[in-house]
Chain A
Amino acid sequence: MTALELSGVAIGDAITPLTRTVTQAQINAYADASGDANPIHLDPAFAVSVGLPGTIAHGMLELGILAEAISVWAGGSANVASLSCRFSKPLRAGDTITCTGTVVSVDEAERVATLEVGASSDRGDRVLTNGRATVRLSR
Protein backbone atom coordinates (compact mmCIF):
# COMPACT_ATOMS: atom_id res chain seq x y z
CA MET A 1 0.00 0.00 0.00
CA THR A 2 1.23 3.50 -0.70
CA ALA A 3 1.05 6.71 1.30
CA LEU A 4 -1.35 9.49 0.38
CA GLU A 5 0.14 12.25 -1.72
CA LEU A 6 0.73 15.54 0.01
CA SER A 7 -1.06 17.42 -2.76
CA GLY A 8 -4.14 15.25 -2.32
CA VAL A 9 -4.72 15.98 1.37
CA ALA A 10 -6.46 19.10 2.68
CA ILE A 11 -7.70 20.42 6.01
CA GLY A 12 -11.24 19.19 6.54
CA ASP A 13 -10.74 15.85 4.77
CA ALA A 14 -12.41 13.05 6.72
CA ILE A 15 -11.46 9.41 6.98
CA THR A 16 -14.14 6.85 6.13
CA PRO A 17 -15.90 6.16 9.45
CA LEU A 18 -15.40 2.61 10.70
CA THR A 19 -18.29 1.02 12.58
CA ARG A 20 -17.91 -2.33 14.35
CA THR A 21 -20.00 -4.18 16.92
CA VAL A 22 -17.64 -5.47 19.60
CA THR A 23 -19.01 -8.75 20.92
CA GLN A 24 -17.85 -10.64 24.00
CA ALA A 25 -16.32 -13.18 21.60
CA GLN A 26 -14.20 -10.44 20.05
CA ILE A 27 -13.14 -9.17 23.49
CA ASN A 28 -12.16 -12.74 24.43
CA ALA A 29 -10.13 -13.04 21.22
CA TYR A 30 -8.42 -9.71 21.97
CA ALA A 31 -7.58 -10.90 25.51
CA ASP A 32 -5.90 -13.96 24.00
CA ALA A 33 -4.06 -11.92 21.37
CA SER A 34 -2.87 -9.21 23.77
CA GLY A 35 -2.26 -11.28 26.89
CA ASP A 36 -4.49 -8.89 28.89
CA ALA A 37 -6.82 -11.24 30.74
CA ASN A 38 -8.07 -8.72 33.32
CA PRO A 39 -11.45 -10.13 34.45
CA ILE A 40 -13.19 -6.77 33.93
CA HIS A 41 -13.07 -7.72 30.23
CA LEU A 42 -13.97 -11.38 30.58
CA ASP A 43 -16.02 -12.11 33.70
CA PRO A 44 -19.41 -10.35 33.98
CA ALA A 45 -19.79 -11.11 37.70
CA PHE A 46 -16.35 -9.71 38.47
CA ALA A 47 -16.99 -6.60 36.33
CA VAL A 48 -20.21 -5.90 38.25
CA SER A 49 -18.40 -6.45 41.57
CA VAL A 50 -16.03 -3.54 40.79
CA GLY A 51 -18.87 -1.21 39.82
CA LEU A 52 -19.04 -1.69 36.06
CA PRO A 53 -22.32 -2.40 34.27
CA GLY A 54 -20.79 -5.58 32.81
CA THR A 55 -17.71 -6.61 30.90
CA ILE A 56 -16.04 -3.87 28.87
CA ALA A 57 -13.74 -3.87 25.87
CA HIS A 58 -10.02 -3.30 26.36
CA GLY A 59 -9.25 0.35 25.65
CA MET A 60 -6.39 -0.91 23.51
CA LEU A 61 -8.89 -2.90 21.40
CA GLU A 62 -10.85 0.31 20.76
CA LEU A 63 -7.59 2.09 19.93
CA GLY A 64 -6.72 -0.78 17.58
CA ILE A 65 -9.99 -0.33 15.70
CA LEU A 66 -9.36 3.41 15.48
CA ALA A 67 -5.81 2.73 14.23
CA GLU A 68 -7.25 0.42 11.57
CA ALA A 69 -9.60 3.18 10.35
CA ILE A 70 -6.70 5.64 10.15
CA SER A 71 -4.40 3.06 8.50
CA VAL A 72 -6.91 2.38 5.73
CA TRP A 73 -7.17 6.12 5.00
CA ALA A 74 -3.39 6.53 5.23
CA GLY A 75 -2.67 3.81 2.68
CA GLY A 76 -1.22 1.40 5.22
CA SER A 77 -0.38 1.16 8.90
CA ALA A 78 3.30 1.92 8.19
CA ASN A 79 2.18 5.50 7.40
CA VAL A 80 0.63 6.05 10.83
CA ALA A 81 3.29 8.01 12.73
CA SER A 82 1.46 8.62 15.99
CA LEU A 83 -1.85 8.11 17.77
CA SER A 84 -3.08 9.23 21.15
CA CYS A 85 -6.39 9.40 22.98
CA ARG A 86 -8.18 9.39 26.29
CA PHE A 87 -10.28 6.34 27.22
CA SER A 88 -13.18 8.46 28.45
CA LYS A 89 -16.03 6.00 28.77
CA PRO A 90 -16.09 2.22 28.73
CA LEU A 91 -17.34 0.35 25.67
CA ARG A 92 -19.58 -2.47 26.88
CA ALA A 93 -19.56 -5.92 25.32
CA GLY A 94 -22.11 -5.90 22.50
CA ASP A 95 -21.88 -2.16 21.89
CA THR A 96 -21.10 -0.76 18.47
CA ILE A 97 -18.17 1.61 18.10
CA THR A 98 -17.81 4.19 15.33
CA CYS A 99 -14.35 5.67 14.70
CA THR A 100 -13.91 8.98 12.90
CA GLY A 101 -11.16 11.41 11.99
CA THR A 102 -10.70 14.75 10.26
CA VAL A 103 -7.55 16.45 8.99
CA VAL A 104 -6.83 19.58 11.04
CA SER A 105 -3.41 20.53 9.66
CA VAL A 106 -0.95 19.60 6.95
CA ASP A 107 2.77 20.18 7.38
CA GLU A 108 4.11 20.46 3.84
CA ALA A 109 7.78 20.60 4.88
CA GLU A 110 7.56 17.48 7.03
CA ARG A 111 4.93 15.86 4.76
CA VAL A 112 2.72 14.98 7.72
CA ALA A 113 -1.04 15.36 8.18
CA THR A 114 -2.47 15.79 11.67
CA LEU A 115 -5.97 14.49 12.35
CA GLU A 116 -8.40 14.88 15.20
CA VAL A 117 -9.70 11.39 15.80
CA GLY A 118 -12.15 9.77 18.16
CA ALA A 119 -14.82 7.17 18.67
CA SER A 120 -18.36 7.00 19.98
CA SER A 121 -20.67 4.15 20.91
CA ASP A 122 -24.22 3.42 19.86
CA ARG A 123 -25.23 4.37 23.43
CA GLY A 124 -24.18 7.89 22.58
CA ASP A 125 -21.05 7.76 24.72
CA ARG A 126 -17.86 9.36 23.43
CA VAL A 127 -15.57 6.46 24.29
CA LEU A 128 -12.30 7.76 22.80
CA THR A 129 -11.73 11.51 23.17
CA ASN A 130 -8.92 14.06 22.81
CA GLY A 131 -7.65 11.90 19.98
CA ARG A 132 -4.82 12.95 17.69
CA ALA A 133 -3.07 11.09 14.94
CA THR A 134 -0.30 11.99 12.52
CA VAL A 135 0.05 10.37 9.12
CA ARG A 136 3.10 10.32 6.84
CA LEU A 137 2.41 11.56 3.29
CA SER A 138 4.33 11.11 0.06
CA ARG A 139 5.24 13.74 -2.53
Chain B
Amino acid sequence: MDAIISTTDLRKSFRSKRGPVEAVKGVSIEVGRGEIFGFLGPNGAGKTTTLRMLTTLLPIDSGTATVAGLDVARRPKQVRSRIGYVSQLGGADDLATGRENLILQGRLYGGDLPSVRLRAKLLMEILDLNEFADRRVKTYSGGQRRRLDVALGIVHEPEVLFLDEPSTGLDPQNRANLWDHVRSLRSRGTTIFLTTHYLEEADVLCDRLMIMDHGRIVAEGTPRDLKRQVSGDSVLLSLHEEAGTMARARQLISAEPYVREITIDGDQLRLYVEDGSAALPGLLRLLDGERIGLRSISLSEPTLDDVFLHQTGRSLRDAGTATTETAA
Protein backbone atom coordinates (compact mmCIF):
# COMPACT_ATOMS: atom_id res chain seq x y z
CA MET B 1 0.00 0.00 0.00
CA ASP B 2 1.19 3.49 -0.85
CA ALA B 3 0.83 4.90 2.64
CA ILE B 4 0.24 8.63 2.92
CA ILE B 5 -0.17 8.54 6.69
CA SER B 6 1.69 6.10 8.84
CA THR B 7 2.31 6.06 12.55
CA THR B 8 4.03 3.64 14.86
CA ASP B 9 3.22 3.35 18.52
CA LEU B 10 1.93 6.91 18.87
CA ARG B 11 1.41 7.95 22.47
CA LYS B 12 0.13 10.97 24.31
CA SER B 13 -0.66 11.69 27.92
CA PHE B 14 -2.00 14.76 29.61
CA ARG B 15 -1.45 16.05 33.09
CA SER B 16 -4.53 16.13 35.24
CA LYS B 17 -5.23 16.76 38.89
CA ARG B 18 -5.10 13.05 39.56
CA GLY B 19 -1.82 12.52 37.76
CA PRO B 20 -1.06 11.81 34.12
CA VAL B 21 -3.83 10.45 31.94
CA GLU B 22 -2.87 8.41 28.91
CA ALA B 23 -5.15 9.55 26.11
CA VAL B 24 -3.47 7.65 23.29
CA LYS B 25 -1.76 4.40 24.17
CA GLY B 26 0.30 3.21 21.25
CA VAL B 27 -1.57 3.75 18.01
CA SER B 28 -0.15 2.45 14.75
CA ILE B 29 -1.93 3.43 11.55
CA GLU B 30 -1.38 3.04 7.85
CA VAL B 31 -3.61 5.04 5.54
CA GLY B 32 -3.34 4.55 1.79
CA ARG B 33 -3.35 7.39 -0.71
CA GLY B 34 -6.86 8.13 -1.92
CA GLU B 35 -8.68 6.37 0.90
CA ILE B 36 -11.48 7.60 3.08
CA PHE B 37 -10.20 6.38 6.38
CA GLY B 38 -12.27 6.56 9.53
CA PHE B 39 -11.61 6.53 13.22
CA LEU B 40 -14.69 5.26 15.02
CA GLY B 41 -15.06 5.38 18.76
CA PRO B 42 -17.00 6.91 21.62
CA ASN B 43 -16.30 10.41 22.91
CA GLY B 44 -13.06 10.43 24.83
CA ALA B 45 -11.59 7.43 23.01
CA GLY B 46 -8.55 9.45 21.91
CA LYS B 47 -9.60 10.06 18.31
CA THR B 48 -9.26 13.82 18.38
CA THR B 49 -6.00 13.66 20.32
CA THR B 50 -4.53 11.39 17.64
CA LEU B 51 -5.79 13.69 14.93
CA ARG B 52 -4.29 16.73 16.62
CA MET B 53 -0.92 15.04 16.82
CA LEU B 54 -1.05 14.17 13.12
CA THR B 55 -1.94 17.76 12.22
CA THR B 56 0.97 19.32 14.18
CA LEU B 57 -1.35 20.91 16.74
CA LEU B 58 -0.19 18.77 19.63
CA PRO B 59 3.36 17.58 20.34
CA ILE B 60 3.87 13.84 20.11
CA ASP B 61 5.00 12.19 23.36
CA SER B 62 6.51 9.13 21.76
CA GLY B 63 6.27 7.07 18.62
CA THR B 64 6.58 8.38 15.10
CA ALA B 65 4.15 9.84 12.60
CA THR B 66 4.69 10.46 8.90
CA VAL B 67 2.19 12.42 6.84
CA ALA B 68 2.63 12.95 3.09
CA GLY B 69 6.14 11.55 3.37
CA LEU B 70 7.21 14.00 6.08
CA ASP B 71 7.98 13.41 9.73
CA VAL B 72 5.35 15.36 11.68
CA ALA B 73 7.52 16.08 14.72
CA ARG B 74 10.58 17.17 12.73
CA ARG B 75 9.05 19.09 9.85
CA PRO B 76 5.74 20.53 11.06
CA LYS B 77 5.89 23.53 8.71
CA GLN B 78 6.14 21.42 5.58
CA VAL B 79 3.45 19.10 6.88
CA ARG B 80 1.10 22.05 7.44
CA SER B 81 1.28 23.13 3.83
CA ARG B 82 0.33 19.65 2.62
CA ILE B 83 -2.59 18.91 4.89
CA GLY B 84 -5.96 20.45 5.51
CA TYR B 85 -7.72 20.25 8.85
CA VAL B 86 -11.30 20.93 9.77
CA SER B 87 -11.83 20.91 13.51
CA GLN B 88 -15.10 20.13 15.25
CA LEU B 89 -15.56 23.85 15.74
CA GLY B 90 -14.81 24.88 12.18
CA GLY B 91 -13.58 28.31 13.11
CA ALA B 92 -14.74 30.44 10.20
CA ASP B 93 -15.08 34.15 10.93
CA ASP B 94 -18.71 34.94 11.64
CA LEU B 95 -18.44 38.57 10.71
CA ALA B 96 -16.76 37.94 7.37
CA THR B 97 -18.40 36.56 4.25
CA GLY B 98 -17.72 33.06 3.00
CA ARG B 99 -15.64 34.46 0.17
CA GLU B 100 -13.57 36.67 2.48
CA ASN B 101 -12.91 33.70 4.73
CA LEU B 102 -11.72 31.59 1.83
CA ILE B 103 -9.51 34.31 0.38
CA LEU B 104 -7.78 34.98 3.69
CA GLN B 105 -7.26 31.28 4.29
CA GLY B 106 -5.80 30.80 0.80
CA ARG B 107 -3.43 33.70 1.31
CA LEU B 108 -2.27 32.38 4.66
CA TYR B 109 -1.27 29.25 2.79
CA GLY B 110 0.87 31.47 0.58
CA GLY B 111 -1.35 31.90 -2.48
CA ASP B 112 -1.34 35.18 -4.41
CA LEU B 113 -4.56 37.16 -4.59
CA PRO B 114 -5.66 36.44 -8.19
CA SER B 115 -5.19 32.68 -7.93
CA VAL B 116 -6.75 32.56 -4.47
CA ARG B 117 -9.79 34.46 -5.79
CA LEU B 118 -10.21 31.91 -8.55
CA ARG B 119 -9.80 29.03 -6.16
CA ALA B 120 -12.39 30.50 -3.78
CA LYS B 121 -14.84 30.83 -6.64
CA LEU B 122 -14.27 27.26 -7.74
CA LEU B 123 -14.64 25.90 -4.21
CA MET B 124 -17.89 27.72 -3.67
CA GLU B 125 -19.21 26.16 -6.84
CA ILE B 126 -18.04 22.70 -5.88
CA LEU B 127 -19.53 22.93 -2.39
CA ASP B 128 -22.79 24.61 -3.41
CA LEU B 129 -22.03 27.84 -1.63
CA ASN B 130 -22.31 30.18 -4.59
CA GLU B 131 -25.56 31.70 -3.44
CA PHE B 132 -24.17 32.60 -0.02
CA ALA B 133 -20.65 33.54 -1.08
CA ASP B 134 -21.05 37.19 -0.20
CA ARG B 135 -23.18 36.82 2.88
CA ARG B 136 -21.70 36.93 6.32
CA VAL B 137 -21.06 33.51 7.81
CA LYS B 138 -23.23 34.48 10.77
CA THR B 139 -26.27 33.98 8.54
CA TYR B 140 -25.28 30.49 7.34
CA SER B 141 -27.24 27.39 8.31
CA GLY B 142 -25.45 24.48 9.96
CA GLY B 143 -25.02 22.61 6.71
CA GLN B 144 -23.76 25.65 4.78
CA ARG B 145 -21.31 26.47 7.54
CA ARG B 146 -19.98 22.95 7.54
CA ARG B 147 -19.45 23.04 3.79
CA LEU B 148 -17.59 26.33 4.18
CA ASP B 149 -15.41 24.71 6.87
CA VAL B 150 -14.56 21.95 4.43
CA ALA B 151 -13.82 24.50 1.71
CA LEU B 152 -11.47 26.31 4.13
CA GLY B 153 -9.71 23.01 4.75
CA ILE B 154 -9.03 22.36 1.07
CA VAL B 155 -8.33 25.87 -0.19
CA HIS B 156 -4.66 24.99 -0.76
CA GLU B 157 -5.39 21.64 -2.44
CA PRO B 158 -3.91 19.51 0.33
CA GLU B 159 -2.92 15.89 -0.20
CA VAL B 160 -4.68 14.85 2.96
CA LEU B 161 -7.77 16.33 4.55
CA PHE B 162 -8.40 15.69 8.23
CA LEU B 163 -12.00 16.01 9.36
CA ASP B 164 -12.77 15.90 13.07
CA GLU B 165 -16.35 14.76 13.64
CA PRO B 166 -17.49 16.39 10.40
CA SER B 167 -21.19 15.70 10.71
CA THR B 168 -21.76 16.46 14.38
CA GLY B 169 -24.82 18.66 14.71
CA LEU B 170 -26.02 18.12 11.15
CA ASP B 171 -29.44 16.73 10.36
CA PRO B 172 -29.59 13.50 8.33
CA GLN B 173 -30.15 15.32 5.07
CA ASN B 174 -27.17 17.62 5.45
CA ARG B 175 -25.11 14.72 6.66
CA ALA B 176 -25.80 12.73 3.50
CA ASN B 177 -25.04 15.83 1.46
CA LEU B 178 -21.70 16.26 3.24
CA TRP B 179 -20.85 12.62 2.57
CA ASP B 180 -21.41 13.18 -1.13
CA HIS B 181 -18.99 16.08 -1.05
CA VAL B 182 -16.41 14.05 0.84
CA ARG B 183 -16.69 11.26 -1.71
CA SER B 184 -16.27 13.65 -4.61
CA LEU B 185 -13.15 15.07 -2.94
CA ARG B 186 -11.77 11.56 -2.74
CA SER B 187 -12.51 11.01 -6.41
CA ARG B 188 -10.38 14.11 -7.12
CA GLY B 189 -7.47 12.39 -5.41
CA THR B 190 -7.60 13.75 -1.85
CA THR B 191 -7.05 11.33 0.99
CA ILE B 192 -9.60 11.81 3.75
CA PHE B 193 -8.97 10.97 7.37
CA LEU B 194 -11.98 11.46 9.59
CA THR B 195 -13.08 10.75 13.11
CA THR B 196 -16.64 9.94 13.98
CA HIS B 197 -18.79 8.45 16.66
CA TYR B 198 -21.62 7.86 14.22
CA LEU B 199 -21.88 4.22 13.25
CA GLU B 200 -23.62 4.96 10.03
CA GLU B 201 -21.03 7.48 8.95
CA ALA B 202 -18.24 5.00 9.51
CA ASP B 203 -20.15 2.26 7.75
CA VAL B 204 -21.40 4.14 4.72
CA LEU B 205 -18.64 6.61 4.08
CA CYS B 206 -15.35 4.98 5.02
CA ASP B 207 -13.34 2.66 2.81
CA ARG B 208 -11.46 1.45 5.81
CA LEU B 209 -11.68 2.16 9.49
CA MET B 210 -10.23 1.64 12.89
CA ILE B 211 -12.27 1.29 16.00
CA MET B 212 -10.76 3.06 18.95
CA ASP B 213 -11.57 2.77 22.62
CA HIS B 214 -9.70 4.07 25.69
CA GLY B 215 -6.75 5.21 23.61
CA ARG B 216 -6.25 1.91 21.83
CA ILE B 217 -7.13 0.47 18.46
CA VAL B 218 -9.47 -2.44 19.06
CA ALA B 219 -10.27 -3.41 15.49
CA GLU B 220 -9.27 -2.47 11.98
CA GLY B 221 -10.49 -3.25 8.47
CA THR B 222 -13.12 -2.42 5.90
CA PRO B 223 -16.61 -2.06 7.36
CA ARG B 224 -17.52 -5.32 5.64
CA ASP B 225 -14.61 -7.30 7.00
CA LEU B 226 -15.16 -5.96 10.46
CA LYS B 227 -18.80 -6.95 10.46
CA ARG B 228 -17.90 -10.35 9.14
CA GLN B 229 -15.65 -10.89 12.15
CA VAL B 230 -18.71 -10.87 14.30
CA SER B 231 -20.08 -14.18 13.28
CA GLY B 232 -23.77 -14.60 12.82
CA ASP B 233 -26.76 -12.36 13.22
CA SER B 234 -28.15 -10.62 16.21
CA VAL B 235 -31.64 -11.03 17.55
CA LEU B 236 -33.20 -8.41 19.73
CA LEU B 237 -36.00 -9.47 22.04
CA SER B 238 -38.21 -7.16 23.95
CA LEU B 239 -40.23 -8.81 26.71
CA HIS B 240 -43.34 -7.86 28.65
CA GLU B 241 -42.07 -6.58 31.91
CA GLU B 242 -42.85 -8.84 34.77
CA ALA B 243 -40.59 -9.43 37.70
CA GLY B 244 -37.89 -11.91 36.91
CA THR B 245 -38.92 -12.45 33.31
CA MET B 246 -35.70 -11.10 31.95
CA ALA B 247 -33.48 -13.33 34.02
CA ARG B 248 -35.62 -16.36 33.40
CA ALA B 249 -35.66 -15.81 29.65
CA ARG B 250 -31.95 -15.25 29.60
CA GLN B 251 -31.26 -18.47 31.42
CA LEU B 252 -33.60 -20.38 29.21
CA ILE B 253 -32.30 -19.03 25.93
CA SER B 254 -28.63 -19.31 26.77
CA ALA B 255 -29.09 -23.04 27.16
CA GLU B 256 -30.09 -23.36 23.51
CA PRO B 257 -27.30 -24.80 21.36
CA TYR B 258 -27.56 -22.25 18.54
CA VAL B 259 -27.07 -19.24 20.81
CA ARG B 260 -23.48 -18.00 20.86
CA GLU B 261 -23.76 -15.05 23.15
CA ILE B 262 -26.49 -13.31 25.08
CA THR B 263 -26.45 -9.92 26.72
CA ILE B 264 -28.95 -7.65 28.39
CA ASP B 265 -29.04 -4.41 26.47
CA GLY B 266 -31.16 -1.96 28.39
CA ASP B 267 -34.61 -3.48 28.68
CA GLN B 268 -33.93 -5.83 25.81
CA LEU B 269 -32.21 -9.14 25.34
CA ARG B 270 -29.63 -9.31 22.60
CA LEU B 271 -28.40 -12.63 21.33
CA TYR B 272 -25.99 -13.65 18.66
CA VAL B 273 -26.91 -16.69 16.66
CA GLU B 274 -25.34 -18.49 13.73
CA ASP B 275 -28.30 -18.11 11.42
CA GLY B 276 -30.99 -15.74 12.54
CA SER B 277 -33.80 -16.80 10.29
CA ALA B 278 -33.38 -20.44 11.27
CA ALA B 279 -33.25 -19.62 14.97
CA LEU B 280 -36.42 -17.51 15.16
CA PRO B 281 -39.04 -20.30 15.07
CA GLY B 282 -37.25 -22.20 17.81
CA LEU B 283 -36.95 -19.10 19.97
CA LEU B 284 -40.63 -18.30 19.62
CA ARG B 285 -41.67 -21.83 20.57
CA LEU B 286 -39.36 -21.80 23.54
CA LEU B 287 -40.68 -18.55 24.99
CA ASP B 288 -44.26 -19.46 24.25
CA GLY B 289 -43.84 -22.78 26.01
CA GLU B 290 -42.63 -21.00 29.14
CA ARG B 291 -45.39 -18.39 28.91
CA ILE B 292 -42.97 -15.53 28.58
CA GLY B 293 -44.77 -12.68 26.86
CA LEU B 294 -42.93 -11.23 23.91
CA ARG B 295 -43.49 -7.63 22.96
CA SER B 296 -41.33 -7.60 19.86
CA ILE B 297 -38.58 -9.48 18.16
CA SER B 298 -36.18 -8.26 15.53
CA LEU B 299 -33.45 -9.80 13.55
CA SER B 300 -30.47 -7.90 12.18
CA GLU B 301 -27.26 -8.52 10.40
CA PRO B 302 -24.21 -7.44 12.36
CA THR B 303 -23.53 -3.70 12.57
CA LEU B 304 -20.38 -1.87 13.52
CA ASP B 305 -21.95 -1.49 16.93
CA ASP B 306 -21.89 -5.24 17.25
CA VAL B 307 -18.22 -5.14 16.32
CA PHE B 308 -17.62 -2.56 19.01
CA LEU B 309 -19.64 -4.54 21.51
CA HIS B 310 -17.76 -7.66 20.62
CA GLN B 311 -14.37 -6.01 21.10
CA THR B 312 -15.06 -3.93 24.17
CA GLY B 313 -17.99 -5.55 25.88
CA ARG B 314 -19.94 -2.30 25.68
CA SER B 315 -22.27 -0.87 23.12
CA LEU B 316 -21.08 2.27 21.39
CA ARG B 317 -24.46 3.74 22.24
CA ASP B 318 -23.73 3.43 25.93
CA ALA B 319 -20.06 4.29 25.67
CA GLY B 320 -20.59 7.58 23.92
CA THR B 321 -23.26 9.93 25.03
CA ALA B 322 -24.52 10.72 21.59
CA THR B 323 -25.12 8.39 18.72
CA THR B 324 -27.25 9.45 15.89
CA GLU B 325 -30.93 8.84 15.77
CA THR B 326 -30.41 7.34 12.33
CA ALA B 327 -27.53 5.10 13.42
CA ALA B 328 -27.82 1.51 12.34
Q: Do A and B bind each other?
A: no
B interface list, Cβ under 8 A from A = none
